[in-house]
């Protein structure tokens, strides 16, 4: 296989993954102030069915969660995960809903 063809196939695979991404949620967390805090919350959120990505902004005390296409995350699930990590849910909002 030529390098150009391989590169094209790789780009196509990456693009199809991006297009197939499901909803994204913005979760505000009270008490989120350090990398250790972020790790605990991320660990609990990753345990939820359908969660694909978890990105934490410590300065804003916000966690952005992306779920698989066809999956959803509800406020109650997020609250349980955040509470289990030892924090309080401040806000929950869908920021991208496919």
Q: What is the pLDDT of residues 58-67, one digit of tens each?
A: 999 999 999 9
Mean pLDDT confidence for 44-71: 96
Task: Count CA atoms closer than 13 A to 23's CA, side-chain side.
Answer: 14
Cα–Cα distance measured from residue 43 to residue 61, given in angstroms and rounded to the nearest whole number: 16
Pick 20 or 22 by higher pLDDT.
22
pTM listed for this prediction: 0.76
pLDDT of residue 72 exceeding 90 = yes
CB 41 within 8 A of CB 85: yes
Domains and CATH numbers, the chain: 22-96 (3.30.70.100)
Q: Where are the alpha helices (DSSP H) in 1-98?
A: 3-19, 35-46, 75-84
Lowest mean pLDDT among 19-33, 56-70, 75-89: 19-33
Q: Under DSSP, is residue 47 helix (H, G, I), strand (E, B) or coil?
A: coil
pLDDT of residue 16: 44
CB 70 within 8 A of CB 22: yes
């Amino acid at each position: 296989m030529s390098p150009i063809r391989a590169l094209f196939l790789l780009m196509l695979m990456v693009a199809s993954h991006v297009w197939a991404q499901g909803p994204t949620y913005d979760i505000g967390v009270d008490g989120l102030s350090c990398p250790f805090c972020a790790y605990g919350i991320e660990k609990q959120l990753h345990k939820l069915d359908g969660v694909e990505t978890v990105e934490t902004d410590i300065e804003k005390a916000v966690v952005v969660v992306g779920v698989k296409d066809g999956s959803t995350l509800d406020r109650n699930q997020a609250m349980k995960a955040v509470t289990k990590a030892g924090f309080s849910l401040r806000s929950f909002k869908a920021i991208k809903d496919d």
